Amino acid sequence: MAQSWTKIKEINKGKHQVCRLTKSLYGLKQASRQWFAKFSTTLLSHGFTRSKSDYTLFTRFQGSSFIALLVYVDDIVLASDSVDAIKQFIQFLNNEFKLKDLGDLKFFLGLEIAQTSKGLSLCQRKYTLEILEDYGLLAVKASKFPMETNLKLSRHNGDVLDNPASYRRLVGRLLYLTITQPDIAYSVQTFSQFMDTPRQPHMDAATRVLRYLKSSPGQGLFYPANSASHLKAFCDSDRAGCLDTRRSVTGYCVFLGESLISWKSKKQVTVSRSSAEAEYRSMAATTCEITWLLHMLNDFKIDHSQPALLFCDNQAALHIAANPVFHERTKHIEIDCHLVRDKFQENVIRPLHVKSMHQLADLFTKALGSNLFHSLLSKMNIINIFNVVSS
């Protein structure tokens, strides 16, 4: 462990002296880094391999057993196909560090985990109810969907909020809630654009999201126990959706079999000159995510020799991906063209067309009506486990 230095003053003699610390003190800026360095070094010496895609993930294959370890500061999650391997490793950690075994995973960083023979579910029901309680909306009338259809917010319309801190805190808490509720991802990324000067229409729209959460606070993700290990992704864009900058919104969702494992709703960094360009930039972002996920699957020794399926509802964008000839209208997006085409030629992705009515990524690019919104939710395995149990 690296040594820390601090300067102290000897009061009695009035002299300045330097004290060398044999270990890092709790509360210093470098304490967390030193802790992780010591912890990771211990794991690596015990046969673990650190993932290059996520430095907090460690895996070990020893004989017929497999152990995956995920660390967040001093909270650790272990997963293995062998109960004996878990017990032995916990005993090893207990000898090296002082730790407390909390048993089967049920609660982690605000996430509530439920495991059955049918699969695993994730939700943040307690966290959601705390938000509703803080804003006095536990008894409010619930809304069936989070945002009014085709609602467009601007940073120039409406009165400026007297207390912007309340809006900023709410958006921050909703942002953490998107970990298990991708159904509010589009709404939250929209609200995040007005953090500097929030106005009353922004707060009203955010309050509607809370009313939607009131309808199903236990809603979350469900991962079936028996699912294929093949990646498929849906990408979409809403061209010039931002009224202030005229930038488009990129939205995508990635599935491993039938399990939703990654999604994003984000405003693009540049203005697209056509719908094909906006869709193609969305394809490029999704391709990057697929490439990263393939590296993660490799860490778990999961063979993914088949190309990942990439569904897009824009024929022009698909032709750009397949056509090796650069045209005048696409030369300004050359880097994205090379990225998607290279992965296409390397058989990493396989772009396919999907009808707009079956485009799941619509959930991340625009505000939808109740029927279409809930139809897409059901296809993503986003359920309310408490309703399922009660029924």
Question: At 347, which CATH number?
Answer: 3.30.420.10
- pLDDT at position 274 over 80: yes
Is the domain of 77 the same as that of 153? no
Is the Cα torsion angle 220, 230, 59, 55 positive or negative in sign? negative
Is the domain of 231 the same as that of 325? yes
Specify if 42 maps to a domain: yes
Whether 286 and 350 have beta carbons less than 8 Å apart is answered as: no
Domain boundary among 172, 188, 218: 218
Is the domain of 209 the same as that of 244? no
pLDDT at 140: 86
The DSSP string of 15-41 is EEEEEEESSPPTTSTTHHHHHHHHHHH
Region 318-338: mean pLDDT is 74
The more confident residue out of 221 and 73 is 221
Nearest-angstrom CA–CA distance, 171 and 196:
12
What's the pLDDT band for 183 if we cut at 50, 70, 90? very high
Is the domain of 251 the same as that of 338? yes
Specify if 150 maps to a domain: yes
Region 20-34: mean pLDDT is 75
Is the domain of 289 the same as that of 345? yes
Residues 6 or more apart whose CB falls under 8 angstroms from that of 237 comprise 248, 249, 250, 251, 268, 272, 275, 278, 279, 281, 282, 365
What's the pLDDT band for 4 if we cut at 50, 70, 90? very low
For residue 134, how many other CB atoms are within 10 A of its CB? 14
pLDDT at 337: 73
- The pair phi, psi for residue 57, each rounded to 5°, is -105, 130
Specify if 266 maps to a domain: yes
Is the domain of 242 the same as that of 307? yes
**What residues form DSSP beta bridges with 199?**
160
- Least confident piece of the model among 135-139, 300-304, 383-387: 383-387
**Chain centroid to CA 325:** 35
Percent of the chain with pLDDT over 90: 44
Predicted TM-score of the model (pTM): 0.86
Is the domain of 233 the same as that of 308? yes
- The pair phi, psi for residue 171, each rounded to 5°, is -65, -40
Is the domain of 231 the same as that of 345? yes
What's the pLDDT band for 13 if we cut at 50, 70, 90? low
Nearest-angstrom CA–CA distance, 73 and 83:
25
pLDDT at 193: 92
Is the domain of 181 the same as that of 265? no
Domain of residue 61 covers 4-103
Is the domain of 73 the same as that of 166? no
Specify if 380 maps to a domain: no
Is the domain of 68 the same as that of 157? no
The more confident residue out of 14 and 40 is 40
- DSSP β-ladder status, 49-50 and 15-21: unpaired
| Residue in this structure with the two tokens 């996920």, named with its chain if needed | 293
pLDDT at 11: 46
Mean pLDDT, the chain, whole residue set:
86
What pLDDT digit, counting tens, does each position of 343-377 carry? 998 999 999 999 988 899 999 999 888 899 988 98
Region 174-185: mean pLDDT is 94
Determine the Cα angle at 241 with ends 246 and 376, to 5°.
160
Specify if 382 maps to a domain: no
Region 195-223: mean pLDDT is 92
Is the domain of 277 the same as that of 350? yes
Region 103-120: mean pLDDT is 88
Q: Which of 133, 127, 51, 75 is nearest to 297 (CA)?
A: 51
- pLDDT at position 14 over 70: no
pLDDT at 326: 62
Region 62-90: mean pLDDT is 88
The more confident residue out of 175 and 119 is 175
- pLDDT at position 20 over 70: yes
Specify if 389 maps to a domain: no
Number of structural domains, the chain? 3
| Residue in this structure with the two tokens 């003699």, named with its chain if needed | 13
- pLDDT at position 248 over 80: yes
Nearest-angstrom CA–CA distance, 237 and 275:
8
What pLDDT digit, counting tens, does each position of 120-144 carry? 899 999 999 999 999 999 888 999 9
What's the pLDDT band for 9 if we cut at 50, 70, 90? very low
Domain boundary among 183, 218, 253: 218
Domain boundary among 197, 218, 239: 218
What's the pLDDT band for 388 if we cut at 50, 70, 90? low
Give me 336's structure tokens: 């994205």
- pLDDT at position 390 over 50: no
Helices (H), the chain: 31-45, 83-96, 125-134, 164-177, 185-191, 200-215, 275-299, 315-322, 334-345, 370-379, 385-390
Specify if 363 maps to a domain: no
Specify if 360 maps to a domain: no
Region 379-390: mean pLDDT is 73
What's the pLDDT band for 110 if we cut at 50, 70, 90? confident
Nearest-angstrom CA–CA distance, 373 and 283:
22
- pLDDT at position 36 over 90: no
Region 270-299: mean pLDDT is 91
pLDDT at 58: 94
